Amino acid sequence: MKINIIVLTLLGFFLIGCKSENNHDENKRNVVFIIGDDYSYGEHGNYGNEFIKTPNIDALASSSVSFENFHVAATCSPSRAQLMSGKHEFRVGVTHTKYPRAYLNLDEKLLPEYFREAGYTTGHFGKWHLGNDVFDDEYSARSRGFETSLVSHYREHFNPDMMLNGKMISYKGYRTDILFDEAAKWIDNQLQEKKSFFCYIATNSAHGPFDCPDEFKEQYLGTQDIKKRETYYGMISNIDMNVGKIINQLKKKGIYENTLLIYMTDNGHVLGGYNAGMRGSKGSQYRGGTRVPCYFHCPEYFEGNRVVDELTGGIDFLPTLSDLCQLNLEKKVDGKSLVPLLLDDNNNFSDRFMVCHVGRWKDGKFEDNKYKKYAIQNKRFRLVDNKYLFDIKNDPNESINVLDQYPELVQKMREFYEDWWMETVPMMVNEERAVLEGGSRLSIEDVEFRKKQDQK
């Protein structure tokens, strides 16, 4: 009981502690949430990559609460579905990265909708990928809680066409720079109007095709065994520069210490190379596909420079932000609030089983893929494809099968998964719809064709 009282007391200080003159409502915490695309542990200097340069993100990590056993889905749309809904992606209809199996069930209430109800202004800059990003329809970011939405999901990194609040606009410059610059302007506007804000910046980098300004690429020339990785690293260093610009902006405005700044990536890396000793990559059920960096930074209200190794994941964002920002969470979710861990109270956070399934099966073939490309894990162990058990504490690269040594644990994991699957299948609401070839990369011509079809 004393532990709970301490946690609630500290949380109360967090909630009421906003005293920045820029913040209109002193009970509302400003939030900046940054998520990178298609890179992970292996692409950060602080995790041992001797080539890549990420000084701003490394510095952020060293002053944050760093969740080191943090897992998401193994690909883009499913990972984003988790953080927006607080649920496993299959349970909100997302089993693929191609449409319509990337459409997030309209019955779900999402994170930005909760923020708006709580009196926040909400802004989205970058990738959405939970409804086709070139359609301003009921699945769009603007229809799911974001008042301002600058959406980009085309393949061009330079001089991109992007959808700003439902209107297609041509921009000049490098896309990552544009997204961060527009987000920074939006933050300035909210501060001038004394509005509390939730700012979600979702980069399209370092997803392919690989391209970046020469000055970022050139620092890696000749250092990698494949040329694409030189550009890939350059894209990530450009993200790092832009993260530094946002941090400097918050500092200049006097709100860095009490703004909740979250940084993560959406799935494992691509292009091979250094991977911090993990097996697998994007699209894999192994840790290299699902384990990503995640930092929470708000030094005025919880101590930074701490590492948390409890099992946590993308499903935990909604309940955590609900607690920290006084959102009125209406529905039961799969995730847990990370507030006890942010407040250094590991005793109030129990272990659990967490399911990862890559999905992406052929249309209607979900039952055939029940035991393929999946893992169930707790803090220490991972059961992969129902036949390999790995002891992550002693075997972090998942190479030694200890299935026969822990029969009781394996049985519990299998029983949990059977129940979970049976409960989850009816929630896969898009399985009867055929995957749209061309997926998430539809062109302006596709948009115009769909508009004409809708008008018939």
- Per-residue pLDDT of 416-426, as tens digits, reads 999 999 999 99
Give me the mean pLDDT over the 170-188 stretch: 98
Within 8 A by CB and 6+ apart from 58, the residues are 44, 45, 46
Q: Is the pLDDT of residue 408 over 50?
A: yes
Per-residue pLDDT, 135: 74
Per-residue pLDDT, 454: 44
Q: Distance (Å, rounded) from C-alpha 68 to C-alpha 354?
A: 15
**Hey, which of 1-10, 33-42, 98-107 has the most confident mean pLDDT?**
33-42
Instruction: Return the DSSP state at 291.
Output: B
Q: Which amino acid, residue 186?
A: W
Q: Is the pLDDT of residue 9 over 90?
A: no
Kindly give the residue spans of alpha helices, DSSP state H, lying in 391-456: 407-424, 444-455
The CA-atom distances, in angstroms, between 112 and each of 318, 328, 332 are 10, 12, 17
What are the strands of the beta sheet with 167-170, ordered from one edge? 167-170, 161-164, 148-151, 121-126, 197-202, 31-36, 260-265, 294-297, 65-67, 306-308
- Digit-coded pLDDT (tens) for 214-232: 999 999 999 999 999 999 9
Give me the mean pLDDT over the 369-395 stretch: 98
Q: Distance (Å, rounded) from C-alpha 306 to C-alpha 193?
A: 35
- Segments making up each domain of the chain, as ranges: 2-15+30-348
- Digit-coded pLDDT (tens) for 317-341: 999 999 999 999 988 999 999 999 9
Q: What is the mean pLDDT of the chain?
A: 91
- Digit-coded pLDDT (tens) for 247-280: 999 999 999 999 999 999 999 999 999 999 999 9
Per-residue pLDDT, 440: 47
Residue 430 is inside which H or E element, if any? none
- The first and second tokens of residue 392, run together, are 């992550």
Residue 1's Cα: distance from chain center in Å? Answer: 34
- The first and second tokens of residue 172, run together, are 């000049």
Q: Among 19-28, 34-43, 65-74, 445-454, which stretch is predicted with the lowest mean pLDDT?
A: 445-454
Q: Distance (Å, rounded) from C-alpha 336 to C-alpha 326?
A: 15
Give me the mean pLDDT over the 73-79 stretch: 98
- Digit-coded pLDDT (tens) for 90-99: 999 999 999 8
- Digit-coded pLDDT (tens) for 345-371: 888 899 999 999 999 999 889 999 999
Per-residue pLDDT, 352: 98
The CA-atom distances, in angstroms, between 284 and each of 93, 196, 243 are 20, 38, 28
Q: Diameter of the chain by CA atoms?
A: 65
Per-residue pLDDT, 306: 96
User: Do β-strands 197-202 and 121-126 pair in parallel, antiparallel, or remain unpaired?
Assistant: parallel
Q: Is the pLDDT of residue 7 over 70?
A: no
Task: State which fold the 2-15+30-348 domain adopts.
Answer: Alkaline Phosphatase, subunit A (3.40.720)
**Structure pTM?**
0.92
- The first and second tokens of residue 255, run together, are 């709100």
Kindly indicate the confidence band of residue 27, based on its pLDDT and cuts at 50, 70 and 90.
low
Kindly indicate the confidence band of residue 134, based on its pLDDT and cuts at 50, 70 and 90.
confident
Determine phi and psi for 444, rounding to 5 degrees. Answer: -60, -40
Per-residue pLDDT, 24: 52
Kindly indicate the confidence band of residue 453, based on its pLDDT and cuts at 50, 70 and 90.
very low
* 132 vs 389, more confident: 389
- The first and second tokens of residue 128, run together, are 């959405």
Per-residue pLDDT, 12: 52
Q: How many helices (H) and strands (E) does the chain have?
A: 12, 16
Per-residue pLDDT, 401: 99
